[in-house]
Copies of this chain bind each other. A is one copy, B any other.
Protein backbone atom coordinates (compact mmCIF):
# COMPACT_ATOMS: atom_id res chain seq x y z
CA UNK A 1 0.00 0.00 0.00
CA UNK A 2 1.31 3.44 -0.99
CA UNK A 3 1.52 6.03 1.78
CA UNK A 4 0.85 9.75 1.61
CA UNK A 5 1.23 12.54 4.14
CA UNK A 6 -1.29 15.33 4.47
CA UNK A 7 -1.62 18.34 6.79
CA UNK A 8 -4.73 19.91 8.30
CA UNK A 9 -4.98 23.65 8.84
CA UNK A 10 -7.39 23.92 11.75
CA UNK A 11 -8.84 21.49 14.26
CA UNK A 12 -12.23 23.01 14.90
CA UNK A 13 -15.53 21.34 14.17
CA UNK A 14 -14.76 20.39 10.57
CA UNK A 15 -11.13 19.52 11.29
CA UNK A 16 -12.20 17.09 14.00
CA UNK A 17 -14.73 15.55 11.61
CA UNK A 18 -12.04 15.05 8.98
CA UNK A 19 -9.63 13.53 11.49
CA UNK A 20 -12.26 11.21 12.93
CA UNK A 21 -13.44 10.01 9.50
CA UNK A 22 -9.86 9.26 8.47
CA UNK A 23 -9.59 6.97 11.50
CA UNK A 24 -13.09 5.51 11.55
CA UNK A 25 -13.26 4.67 7.85
CA UNK A 26 -9.57 3.94 7.39
CA UNK A 27 -10.14 0.66 5.57
CA UNK A 28 -12.73 2.10 3.15
CA UNK A 29 -10.50 5.08 2.45
CA UNK A 30 -7.42 2.92 1.83
CA UNK A 31 -9.24 0.60 -0.55
CA UNK A 32 -10.89 3.43 -2.45
CA UNK A 33 -7.91 5.80 -2.66
CA UNK A 34 -5.12 3.26 -2.97
CA UNK A 35 -3.26 5.10 -0.19
CA UNK A 36 -2.69 4.88 3.51
CA UNK A 37 -3.18 8.48 4.61
CA UNK A 38 -1.09 9.89 7.43
CA UNK A 39 -2.05 13.21 8.97
CA UNK A 40 1.47 14.30 9.71
CA UNK A 41 0.82 17.85 10.89
CA UNK A 42 -2.14 19.83 12.19
CA UNK A 43 -1.92 23.59 12.46
CA UNK A 44 -3.66 24.87 15.62
CA UNK A 45 -3.80 28.18 17.42
CA UNK A 46 -2.80 26.78 20.77
CA UNK A 47 -1.19 23.49 21.72
CA UNK A 48 -3.01 22.93 24.98
CA UNK A 49 -6.64 23.57 24.17
CA UNK A 50 -8.94 20.59 24.57
CA UNK A 51 -10.14 19.52 21.13
CA UNK A 52 -12.57 16.66 21.64
CA UNK A 53 -10.48 14.34 19.53
CA UNK A 54 -7.56 12.05 20.36
CA UNK A 55 -4.62 13.59 18.55
CA UNK A 56 -1.00 13.01 19.45
CA UNK A 57 0.62 16.24 20.59
CA UNK A 58 3.57 15.44 18.31
CA UNK A 59 1.64 16.32 15.17
CA UNK A 60 0.18 19.58 16.46
CA UNK A 61 1.96 22.76 15.52
CA UNK A 62 1.28 26.46 15.81
CA UNK A 63 3.77 27.26 13.07
CA UNK A 64 2.69 27.02 9.42
CA UNK A 65 6.37 26.84 8.38
CA UNK A 66 6.48 23.30 9.81
CA UNK A 67 3.97 22.35 7.12
CA UNK A 68 5.04 24.46 4.19
CA UNK A 69 8.66 23.40 4.52
CA UNK A 70 7.88 19.69 4.76
CA UNK A 71 8.13 18.41 1.18
CA UNK A 72 6.74 15.03 2.19
CA UNK A 73 3.32 16.65 2.73
CA UNK A 74 1.45 16.35 -0.56
CA UNK A 75 -2.00 17.69 0.34
CA UNK A 76 -2.94 20.66 2.52
CA UNK A 77 -6.49 20.55 3.90
CA UNK A 78 -7.67 24.00 4.94
CA UNK A 79 -10.49 23.78 7.49
CA UNK A 80 -9.76 26.89 9.55
CA UNK A 81 -12.23 29.20 7.81
CA UNK A 82 -12.13 32.98 7.40
CA UNK A 83 -10.15 34.88 4.82
CA UNK A 84 -6.82 35.50 6.48
CA UNK A 85 -4.54 33.75 7.24
CA UNK A 86 -6.30 30.93 5.32
CA UNK A 87 -5.72 32.64 2.00
CA UNK A 88 -2.05 33.30 2.62
CA UNK A 89 -1.48 29.71 3.73
CA UNK A 90 -3.29 28.27 0.70
CA UNK A 91 -1.36 30.47 -1.71
CA UNK A 92 1.94 29.50 -0.10
CA UNK A 93 1.02 25.81 -0.16
CA UNK A 94 0.11 26.01 -3.86
CA UNK A 95 3.40 27.76 -4.53
CA UNK A 96 5.10 24.70 -3.01
CA UNK A 97 3.11 22.43 -5.38
CA UNK A 98 0.92 21.00 -2.66
CA UNK A 99 -2.61 19.99 -3.66
CA UNK A 100 -5.41 21.78 -1.83
CA UNK A 101 -8.71 20.76 -0.26
CA UNK A 102 -10.69 23.55 1.35
CA UNK A 103 -14.06 23.98 3.04
CA UNK A 104 -13.81 27.76 3.05
CA UNK A 105 -16.90 29.41 1.52
CA UNK A 106 -16.01 32.90 2.66
CA UNK A 107 -12.59 32.76 1.05
CA UNK A 108 -13.86 31.29 -2.22
CA UNK A 109 -16.83 33.65 -2.46
CA UNK A 110 -14.74 36.75 -1.91
CA UNK A 111 -11.16 35.98 -2.97
CA UNK A 112 -11.70 32.83 -5.00
CA UNK A 113 -10.28 34.36 -8.18
CA UNK A 114 -6.80 34.69 -6.79
CA UNK A 115 -6.53 31.20 -5.27
CA UNK A 116 -8.15 29.46 -8.27
CA UNK A 117 -5.78 31.24 -10.68
CA UNK A 118 -2.78 30.40 -8.55
CA UNK A 119 -3.82 26.73 -8.51
CA UNK A 120 -4.24 26.83 -12.30
CA UNK A 121 -0.87 28.47 -12.73
CA UNK A 122 0.94 25.91 -10.58
CA UNK A 123 -1.20 23.04 -11.94
CA UNK A 124 -2.07 21.64 -8.53
CA UNK A 125 -5.40 19.98 -7.81
CA UNK A 126 -7.89 22.13 -5.92
CA UNK A 127 -11.04 20.65 -4.40
CA UNK A 128 -13.72 22.58 -2.49
CA UNK A 129 -16.87 20.44 -2.31
CA UNK A 130 -17.25 21.16 1.43
CA UNK A 131 -17.46 24.92 0.91
CA UNK A 132 -21.18 24.79 0.07
CA UNK A 133 -23.89 22.64 1.64
CA UNK A 134 -21.60 20.36 3.66
CA UNK A 135 -22.04 16.73 2.69
CA UNK A 136 -24.24 17.33 -0.36
CA UNK A 137 -22.11 16.82 -3.48
CA UNK A 138 -23.50 19.87 -5.23
CA UNK A 139 -20.25 21.49 -6.36
CA UNK A 140 -18.82 18.39 -8.01
CA UNK A 141 -22.23 17.67 -9.54
CA UNK A 142 -22.34 21.11 -11.14
CA UNK A 143 -18.67 21.00 -12.14
CA UNK A 144 -18.59 17.41 -13.40
CA UNK A 145 -22.01 15.82 -13.84
CA UNK A 146 -24.30 18.52 -15.19
CA UNK A 147 -21.82 19.93 -17.71
CA UNK A 148 -24.02 18.94 -20.66
CA UNK A 149 -26.60 21.46 -19.48
CA UNK A 150 -27.30 25.11 -19.70
CA UNK A 151 -28.43 25.72 -16.12
CA UNK A 152 -31.62 27.80 -16.16
CA UNK A 153 -32.39 28.10 -12.47
CA UNK A 154 -31.08 27.14 -9.07
CA UNK A 155 -32.99 27.39 -5.77
CA UNK A 156 -31.20 26.49 -2.57
CA UNK A 157 -31.99 26.05 1.07
CA UNK A 158 -28.32 26.41 1.96
CA UNK A 159 -28.37 27.58 5.56
CA UNK A 160 -29.30 25.00 8.19
CA UNK A 161 -29.77 27.44 11.06
CA UNK A 162 -32.40 29.54 9.33
CA UNK A 163 -34.18 26.47 7.98
CA UNK A 164 -34.30 25.07 11.50
CA UNK A 165 -35.78 28.33 12.80
CA UNK A 166 -38.35 28.66 10.01
CA UNK A 167 -39.33 24.98 10.41
CA UNK A 168 -39.98 25.46 14.11
CA UNK A 169 -41.94 28.64 13.45
CA UNK A 170 -44.02 26.91 10.79
CA UNK A 171 -44.67 23.65 12.60
CA UNK A 172 -45.04 24.95 16.15
CA UNK A 173 -46.31 28.49 15.63
CA UNK A 174 -43.43 30.00 17.63
CA UNK A 175 -41.95 33.51 17.53
CA UNK A 176 -38.63 34.06 15.75
CA UNK A 177 -36.85 35.32 18.88
CA UNK A 178 -37.94 32.35 20.98
CA UNK A 179 -36.80 29.81 18.42
CA UNK A 180 -33.50 31.64 17.97
CA UNK A 181 -32.84 31.47 21.71
CA UNK A 182 -33.62 27.76 21.75
CA UNK A 183 -31.41 27.19 18.70
CA UNK A 184 -28.54 28.95 20.46
CA UNK A 185 -28.99 26.76 23.53
CA UNK A 186 -28.95 23.62 21.41
CA UNK A 187 -25.90 24.74 19.46
CA UNK A 188 -27.85 25.06 16.18
CA UNK A 189 -27.21 28.80 16.13
CA UNK A 190 -24.05 30.65 17.03
CA UNK A 191 -23.76 33.13 19.88
CA UNK A 192 -23.66 35.84 17.21
CA UNK A 193 -26.12 34.49 14.66
CA UNK A 194 -25.95 37.48 12.30
CA UNK A 195 -24.24 35.67 9.43
CA UNK A 196 -26.98 33.04 9.35
CA UNK A 197 -30.16 34.95 10.15
CA UNK A 198 -29.31 37.96 8.01
CA UNK A 199 -28.53 35.74 5.02
CA UNK A 200 -24.81 36.49 4.65
CA UNK A 201 -23.89 32.80 4.83
CA UNK A 202 -26.39 31.97 2.09
CA UNK A 203 -25.17 34.94 0.06
CA UNK A 204 -21.59 33.57 0.03
CA UNK A 205 -22.83 30.13 -0.94
CA UNK A 206 -25.02 31.44 -3.75
CA UNK A 207 -22.12 33.48 -5.10
CA UNK A 208 -20.07 30.27 -5.39
CA UNK A 209 -22.88 28.10 -6.79
CA UNK A 210 -23.96 30.64 -9.38
CA UNK A 211 -20.41 31.36 -10.55
CA UNK A 212 -20.01 27.64 -11.25
CA UNK A 213 -23.50 27.08 -12.65
CA UNK A 214 -23.33 29.98 -15.07
CA UNK A 215 -19.57 29.90 -15.72
CA UNK A 216 -19.15 33.58 -14.94
CA UNK A 217 -17.53 35.75 -12.30
CA UNK A 218 -19.87 36.66 -9.46
CA UNK A 219 -19.10 39.14 -6.73
CA UNK A 220 -20.79 38.58 -3.38
CA UNK A 221 -22.23 42.08 -3.74
CA UNK A 222 -24.02 40.98 -6.92
CA UNK A 223 -26.26 38.83 -4.73
CA UNK A 224 -29.22 40.70 -3.24
CA UNK A 225 -29.65 39.67 0.40
CA UNK A 226 -32.39 39.82 3.01
CA UNK A 227 -32.58 37.83 6.27
CA UNK A 228 -35.45 36.16 8.10
CA UNK A 229 -35.74 38.34 11.21
CA UNK A 230 -38.93 40.06 10.05
CA UNK A 231 -40.91 36.80 9.66
CA UNK A 232 -43.74 36.53 12.19
CA UNK A 233 -46.01 33.65 13.14
CA UNK A 234 -48.86 35.54 11.43
CA UNK A 235 -46.94 35.39 8.12
CA UNK A 236 -46.51 31.64 8.58
CA UNK A 237 -50.23 31.39 9.24
CA UNK A 238 -51.15 33.31 6.10
CA UNK A 239 -48.67 31.27 4.07
CA UNK A 240 -50.34 28.11 5.32
CA UNK A 241 -53.76 29.50 4.35
CA UNK A 242 -52.42 29.97 0.81
CA UNK A 243 -50.93 26.41 0.83
CA UNK A 244 -47.45 27.89 0.93
CA UNK A 245 -44.35 27.54 3.09
CA UNK A 246 -41.79 30.23 3.89
CA UNK A 247 -38.15 29.30 3.30
CA UNK A 248 -34.95 31.33 3.11
CA UNK A 249 -34.15 30.65 -0.55
CA UNK A 250 -30.98 31.37 -2.45
CA UNK A 251 -32.23 31.96 -5.99
CA UNK A 252 -30.22 32.18 -9.22
CA UNK A 253 -31.77 32.41 -12.68
CA UNK A 254 -30.48 33.10 -16.14
CA UNK A 255 -32.66 34.69 -18.80
CA UNK A 256 -31.15 35.67 -22.13
CA UNK A 257 -27.67 35.93 -20.66
CA UNK A 258 -28.84 38.08 -17.75
CA UNK A 259 -28.61 36.75 -14.23
CA UNK A 260 -30.81 37.30 -11.25
CA UNK A 261 -29.22 36.47 -7.90
CA UNK A 262 -30.95 36.87 -4.57
CA UNK A 263 -31.28 35.51 -1.06
CA UNK A 264 -34.48 36.27 0.82
CA UNK A 265 -37.42 34.68 2.62
CA UNK A 266 -39.69 33.24 -0.03
CA UNK A 267 -43.19 31.81 -0.07
CA UNK A 268 -43.25 28.60 -2.09
CA UNK A 269 -46.07 26.14 -2.85
CA UNK A 270 -46.20 23.50 -0.13
CA UNK A 271 -46.29 20.78 -2.81
CA UNK A 272 -42.84 21.77 -4.07
CA UNK A 273 -40.04 19.40 -2.94
CA UNK A 274 -38.18 22.31 -1.29
CA UNK A 275 -41.18 23.01 0.94
CA UNK A 276 -40.71 19.61 2.56
CA UNK A 277 -37.11 20.27 3.56
CA UNK A 278 -37.28 20.73 7.31
CA UNK A 279 -35.03 21.31 10.33
CA UNK A 280 -31.37 21.85 9.62
CA UNK A 281 -31.42 19.99 6.30
CA UNK A 282 -30.25 21.73 3.14
CA UNK A 283 -31.43 21.18 -0.41
CA UNK A 284 -30.54 22.54 -3.81
CA UNK A 285 -33.06 22.41 -6.62
CA UNK A 286 -31.65 22.89 -10.12
CA UNK A 287 -33.24 23.10 -13.54
CA UNK A 288 -30.99 22.33 -16.49
CA UNK A 289 -32.14 22.57 -20.10
CA UNK A 290 -31.34 18.87 -20.67
CA UNK A 291 -31.68 17.20 -17.28
CA UNK A 292 -34.85 19.06 -16.24
CA UNK A 293 -35.53 19.35 -12.52
CA UNK A 294 -33.06 17.88 -10.05
CA UNK A 295 -32.86 18.15 -6.28
CA UNK A 296 -30.03 17.33 -3.86
CA UNK A 297 -30.96 16.98 -0.20
CA UNK A 298 -28.86 16.38 2.91
CA UNK A 299 -26.99 17.79 5.88
CA UNK A 300 -25.42 21.12 4.99
CA UNK A 301 -23.26 21.43 8.07
CA UNK A 302 -21.79 19.50 10.98
CA UNK A 303 -18.42 17.88 11.56
CA UNK A 304 -19.18 14.53 9.92
CA UNK A 305 -21.21 15.65 6.84
CA UNK A 306 -18.74 18.41 6.03
CA UNK A 307 -15.87 16.05 6.83
CA UNK A 308 -17.39 13.56 4.38
CA UNK A 309 -17.02 16.10 1.57
CA UNK A 310 -13.47 17.03 2.61
CA UNK A 311 -12.26 13.43 2.86
CA UNK A 312 -13.95 12.45 -0.43
CA UNK A 313 -12.10 15.36 -2.03
CA UNK A 314 -8.82 14.06 -0.58
CA UNK A 315 -9.55 10.62 -2.05
CA UNK A 316 -10.40 12.22 -5.39
CA UNK A 317 -6.97 13.85 -5.48
CA UNK A 318 -5.21 10.63 -4.47
CA UNK A 319 -6.91 8.72 -7.28
CA UNK A 320 -5.28 10.98 -9.80
CA UNK A 321 -1.54 11.00 -10.11
CA UNK A 322 -0.42 13.31 -7.32
CA UNK A 323 3.07 13.61 -8.74
CA UNK A 324 2.11 14.92 -12.18
CA UNK A 325 0.76 18.30 -13.12
CA UNK A 326 -3.00 18.82 -13.21
CA UNK A 327 -3.95 19.79 -16.76
CA UNK A 328 -7.62 20.41 -15.97
CA UNK A 329 -8.61 24.01 -15.39
CA UNK A 330 -9.39 24.83 -11.76
CA UNK A 331 -11.00 28.13 -12.72
CA UNK A 332 -14.55 27.46 -13.90
CA UNK A 333 -16.11 30.90 -13.61
CA UNK A 334 -14.41 32.51 -16.58
CA UNK A 335 -16.26 30.94 -19.51
CA UNK A 336 -18.72 33.75 -20.10
CA UNK A 337 -19.34 37.36 -19.13
CA UNK A 338 -22.85 37.69 -17.85
CA UNK A 339 -24.60 40.67 -16.33
CA UNK A 340 -26.44 40.59 -13.06
CA UNK A 341 -29.79 42.37 -12.96
CA UNK A 342 -30.50 44.98 -10.34
CA UNK A 343 -33.02 43.74 -7.77
CA UNK A 344 -35.24 46.61 -9.00
CA UNK A 345 -35.66 44.82 -12.31
CA UNK A 346 -36.44 41.40 -10.84
CA UNK A 347 -39.99 40.20 -11.37
CA UNK A 348 -41.90 38.30 -8.74
CA UNK A 349 -45.23 37.95 -7.06
CA UNK A 350 -45.46 39.57 -3.63
CA UNK A 351 -47.20 39.00 -0.32
CA UNK A 352 -47.73 42.32 1.46
CA UNK A 353 -49.06 42.50 5.01
CA UNK A 354 -50.36 45.86 6.20
CA UNK A 355 -51.94 47.24 9.32
CA UNK A 356 -54.59 49.74 8.25
CA UNK A 357 -57.39 51.79 9.75
CA UNK A 358 -60.68 49.97 9.61
CA UNK A 359 -62.73 52.58 7.82
CA UNK A 360 -64.48 52.99 4.48
CA UNK A 361 -62.35 53.97 1.48
CA UNK A 362 -59.02 52.60 2.70
CA UNK A 363 -59.07 49.65 0.36
CA UNK A 364 -59.90 51.96 -2.52
CA UNK A 365 -56.92 54.19 -1.72
CA UNK A 366 -54.60 51.18 -1.63
CA UNK A 367 -55.79 49.63 -4.86
CA UNK A 368 -55.58 53.00 -6.58
CA UNK A 369 -51.90 53.31 -5.65
CA UNK A 370 -51.06 49.83 -6.92
CA UNK A 371 -53.17 50.40 -10.02
CA UNK A 372 -51.33 53.63 -10.84
CA UNK A 373 -48.10 51.59 -10.81
CA UNK A 374 -49.68 48.91 -13.02
CA UNK A 375 -49.35 46.40 -10.18
CA UNK A 376 -52.24 44.00 -10.43
CA UNK A 377 -53.57 42.47 -7.23
CA UNK A 378 -54.51 38.80 -7.25
CA UNK A 379 -56.19 38.83 -3.86
CA UNK A 380 -56.90 41.04 -0.88
CA UNK A 381 -57.63 39.40 2.44
CA UNK A 382 -59.01 41.15 5.50
CA UNK A 383 -59.69 39.10 8.61
CA UNK A 384 -61.57 40.66 11.53
CA UNK A 385 -60.35 43.49 13.73
CA UNK A 386 -56.99 43.51 15.43
CA UNK A 387 -58.22 45.18 18.58
CA UNK A 388 -61.74 46.49 18.91
CA UNK A 389 -60.43 49.64 20.53
CA UNK A 390 -57.71 50.52 17.99
CA UNK A 391 -59.96 50.17 14.94
CA UNK A 392 -57.02 48.66 13.07
CA UNK A 393 -57.08 45.59 10.90
CA UNK A 394 -54.61 43.38 9.12
CA UNK A 395 -54.81 43.52 5.36
CA UNK A 396 -52.93 41.04 3.20
CA UNK A 397 -52.35 41.65 -0.50
CA UNK A 398 -51.09 39.13 -3.03
CA UNK A 399 -49.88 40.65 -6.28
CA UNK A 400 -49.58 39.20 -9.74
CA UNK A 401 -46.09 39.10 -11.21
CA UNK A 402 -44.54 42.54 -11.30
CA UNK A 403 -41.24 44.37 -11.10
CA UNK A 404 -39.65 44.98 -7.73
CA UNK A 405 -39.23 48.69 -8.51
CA UNK A 406 -42.97 49.09 -8.99
CA UNK A 407 -43.65 47.38 -5.68
CA UNK A 408 -41.16 49.61 -3.90
CA UNK A 409 -42.66 52.71 -5.42
CA UNK A 410 -46.15 51.57 -4.43
CA UNK A 411 -44.99 50.88 -0.88
CA UNK A 412 -43.44 54.35 -0.67
CA UNK A 413 -46.75 55.86 -1.66
CA UNK A 414 -48.62 53.67 0.84
CA UNK A 415 -46.46 55.16 3.60
CA UNK A 416 -47.87 58.57 2.73
CA UNK A 417 -51.42 57.44 3.39
CA UNK A 418 -52.64 58.34 6.87
CA UNK A 419 -54.90 55.29 6.86
CA UNK A 420 -51.91 52.96 6.57
CA UNK A 421 -50.57 52.36 10.07
CA UNK A 422 -47.72 50.10 9.06
CA UNK A 423 -46.31 48.04 6.21
CA UNK A 424 -45.60 45.00 8.36
CA UNK A 425 -43.92 42.68 5.92
CA UNK A 426 -43.23 42.05 2.23
CA UNK A 427 -42.36 38.52 1.14
CA UNK A 428 -41.61 37.43 -2.42
CA UNK A 429 -43.57 34.48 -3.80
CA UNK A 430 -41.92 31.91 -6.07
CA UNK A 431 -44.13 29.74 -8.26
CA UNK A 432 -41.35 27.86 -10.09
CA UNK A 433 -43.13 28.44 -13.38
Contact = CB atoms under 8 A, between A and B. Distances in A.
Given A292-B299, A292-B304, A335-B31, A312 B136 contact: no
A137 B145 contact: yes
Interface in A317-336: 319-321, 327-328, 335-336
Contact of A294 (B273, B298, B335): B298
A315 B148 contact: yes
Contacts of A308: 146, 148-149, 288, 290-291
Most chain B CB atoms below 10 A, which of A17, A149, A310, A315: A149
A28 interface: yes
Contacts of A146: 137, 308, 312
A72 interface: no
A295 interface: yes
Interface size class on chain A is 35 or more
A294 B294 contact: no
A293 B304 contact: no
Contact of A147 (B33, B297, B321): B33
Nearest to A142: B137
Nearest to A134: B291
- Specify how many copies of this chain sit in the oligomer: 2
A140 interface: yes
A291 B298 contact: yes
A148 B290 contact: no
Interface in A113-168: 129, 135-137, 140-141, 144-150
A81 interface: no
A413 interface: no
Contacts of A335: 31-32
A129 B24 CA distance: 29
A224 interface: no
A312 B295 CA distance: 17
Contacts of A309: 145, 148, 291
Contacts of A304: 290-292
Contacts of A293: 281, 297-299
Given A25-B148, A140-B145, A148-B315, A292 B297 contact: no
Contact of A137 (B24, B141, B311, B314): B141
A20 to B, nearest CB: 9
Contact of A307 (B17, B21, B148, B305): B148
A295 B298 contact: yes
Contacts of A298: 291-295
Contacts of A135: 288, 290-292, 294
Contacts of A25: 148-150, 289-290
Interface in A58-102: none
Contact of A305 (B29, B291, B311, B328): B291
Contact of A273 (B24, B144, B276, B319): B276
B311 A320 contact: no
B140 A144 contact: yes
Given A150-B25, A276-B276, A295 B294 contact: no
A215 interface: yes
Nearest to A314: B148
Contacts of A295: 295-298
A382 interface: no
A112 B327 CA distance: 30
15 contacts: A21-B148, A28-B147, A31-B335, A135-B292, A145-B312, A147-B312, A148-B315, A149-B308, A291-B304, A292-B299, A292-B302, A294-B297, A294-B299, A295-B298, A296-B297
The 5 closest A-B pairs by CB, nearest first: A148-B311, A137-B145, A135-B291, A290-B308, A291-B308
